Amino acid sequence: MNTLRAVVAEKPGFVYEPPDGPDGGCMYVHEDEHGRQVPGCLVGHVYNRLGASLDALSLNEGHGPSFVASDPAVRLDLSFRALHALAEAQKSQDMGDTWSEALGAAEREFERQ
């Protein structure tokens, strides 16, 4: 949760928009204007900060946070509570909430578990 809080603190009012437009899905990895891979959605930022490579994340596009964390190429040892909180953050973000609002949803889910 501390990594999620740190990412959100940098851009609390940010509203994620998929690279393919509002009807596109959330992507863990985007390309910048120079064609380089960069973290995309909130969970992509968190997982990258925790040590997941952008290549490994890009291979997991379309999968939820729990699946991605368990991928041998990603190998993140996160608690059940943290995984559920991240899934809630992603859901909130995907509904158009700011990252700060997504953090609030994650914090509530973390406390419920």
> Of 86, 92, 81, nearest to 68 (Cα)?
86
Q: Which pLDDT band holds residue 108 (cuts at 50, 70, 90)?
A: very high
The pLDDT of residue 1: 96
Q: Which pLDDT band holds residue 19 (cuts at 50, 70, 90)?
A: confident
The pLDDT of residue 26: 87
Dist CA 90 CA 97 (whole Å):
10
Dist CA 42 CA 58 (whole Å):
14
SS3 of residue 113 by DSSP? coil
Question: What digits encode the pLDDT tens for the residues 50-105?
Answer: 999 999 999 999 999 999 999 999 999 999 999 999 999 999 999 999 999 999 99
Output the average pLDDT for the chain: 95
Which percentage of the chain shows pLDDT scores above 70? Answer: 99
By residue count, the chain amounts to 113
The pLDDT of residue 20: 80
| Pair 104, 5: CB distance under 8 Å | no
The pLDDT of residue 78: 96
